[in-house]
Amino acid sequence: QSALTQPPSATGSPGQSVTISCTGTSSDVGGYNYVSWYQQHPGKAPKVMIYEVTKRPSGVPDRFSASKSGNTASLTVSGLQAEDEADYYCSSFAGENNLVVFGGGTKLTVL
Amino acid sequence: QVQLQESGPGLVKPSETLSLTCAVSGYSISSGYYWGWIRQPPGKGLEWIGNIYHSGNTQYNPSLKSRVIISVDTSKNQFSLKVSSVTAADTAVYYCARSLLTVTRVSFGSWGQGTLVSVSS
């Protein structure tokens, strides 16, 4: 059982927007501004899309945005494209005794 | 551009020790960043195993801490993972990774391709 809760699946059509949630507690998501989001295509290593809740690394399209409210973080993918179909994982800092916790992942399907 | 490459046995017997090495090229581990291990059981999600800094300071997932050792060899520009007393539950793709920023331990920006380690007799 993962520390952070994500919906197992999300679906959207090309051009639409989809939002994926990531729920934790005040000991992780709610307590720190260190939420990251990763995209993982089948058979590939994860790729960081968002860090520190809202920041995009260089090269990540601005179609990817994120936010946090209380103990829940959210990733929004706008203008869905076929290549956005992948698994998405959130992670959060969870204190010095358990540095990084992950969500169980959400499979995004682009219809 | 930094590159990471995992290596080690693909099959380990139950109760034995899993040993993997991550060779780093394109960047000197001694120069900074945090270096981590993350694993992913087949068809399942990601699990952080632990981090090491070039100084040798380590932090581990508390659920694995009693069985895990991460070490660094700056002369070979590589870091290593050992997991003892393995069971079938340790079967996973093991990734090594570098932190995204020099000051951030909790986001990983560069990853190896991953290596599948199966635990079976």
A→B interface, C-beta within 8 Å: 2, 34, 36, 38, 45-48, 51-52, 57, 89, 91-93, 96-105
> What stretch of H or E contains B72?
strand B68-73
User: What DSSP assignment string belongs to B6-70?
Assistant: EES-SEE-TTS-EEEEEEEESS-GGG--EEEEEEE-TTS--EEEEEEETT--EEE-TTTTTTEEE
Contact B51/A at CB under 8 A: yes
Q: Best interface-test mutation with B: which of A28, A47, A97, A100 has the largest number of B CBs within 10 A?
A: A100
Distance (Å, whole) CA B49 – CA B61: 5
Going by C-alpha positions, the residue among B17, B38, B7 that lies closest to residue B82 is: B17
Residue A2 to residue B45, Cβ atoms within 8 A: yes
CA contacts within 13 A on the Cβ side of B60:
14
Residue A105 confidence class, pLDDT cut points 50, 70, 90: very high
Q: Reply yes or no on whether the pLDDT at A37 is more than 90.
A: yes
Contacts of B100 in chain A (CB under 8 A): 48, 51, 57
Tokens of B90: 């340790």
Tokens of A25: 């507690």
C-beta of residue A91 within 8 angstroms of C-beta of residue B40: no
Q: Reply yes or no on whether the pLDDT at A88 is more than 80.
A: yes
The per-residue pLDDT for A63 is 97
C-beta of residue A59 within 8 angstroms of C-beta of residue A98: no
Residue-wise pLDDT tens digits, A39-78: 999 999 999 999 999 999 999 999 999 999 999 999 999 9
Q: Compare CB distances from A99 to B51, B113, B114 and report the shortest one's residue.
A: B51
Q: What mean pLDDT value characterizes chain A?
A: 96
The per-residue pLDDT for B104 is 85
Q: Reply yes or no on whether the pLDDT at A1 is more than 80.
A: no
3-state secondary structure (DSSP) of residue B88 = helix
Q: Compute mean pLDDT per 10 residues along chain B, 121 residues long, and list them.
A: 96 98 97 96 96 92 96 96 98 97 91 98 94
Going by C-alpha positions, the residue among B70, B64, B74, B67 that lies closest to residue B37 is: B70
- Exposed e or buried b for every residue in A1-23, given b needs 16+ CB within 10 A? ebbbbbeeebebeeeeebebbbb
The per-residue pLDDT for A2 is 73
